[in-house]
Structure 1
């Protein structure tokens, strides 16, 4: 049950309006304080996605399990990353995908070195690096 709630919370995040768009108000109630209609409003999008995208189920579960293992600080960091991603242009998202794909494949010391090189690159050098390291399709 706890994993289900975590999955629902994780997948419903993109549906929530950004905090800066909402007036200041009291914290929402705990799950047990929600009525059936409120719970259904939270669960329905996840249930629909689960039913409509069977190929995504394993991915959804892995994300929920990983979220469950995160510390509060890791969760805050993940939220910040999701907000940054949401506001990136499609081109910038693609650049980020290429960079992360490369980083994931490297040992930690090489990751650190690539991050340092990336941060020192000019925009033109970054574009060149991305062209050279874009996966072949």
Structure 2
């Protein structure tokens, strides 16, 4: 049960930080380009890599910290960082075809799933 509390606490903080950071960046840029989301995703990737690198080399970190920071906070801040971390793990293990399938598949299929979901949602309410 405790692990769910760590994830929930990190998730609450991560979602608030995402909302605030994205909004601040978007207001600064004042453009139709989704700069806030772009910035949050890039910051998230940097932070996820940084924290993962620290956790890899430090055996003294309790598993609850990993749940709080990586699963909870980073998962709510941006799942894009998890997507990129998993892709980099595939590269590290030499699985190039799986890397291409993961990146290409999630990007292209995800795009079409959004389009399909929007169309289905509009169909349902019309």
Identify whether the pair has TM-score above 0.5, normalized to the shorter chain. Answer: no
The structure whose Rg is larger is: 1
Alignment TM-score, normalising by the size of structure 1: 0.24
Whose helix proportion is higher, 1 or 2? 2
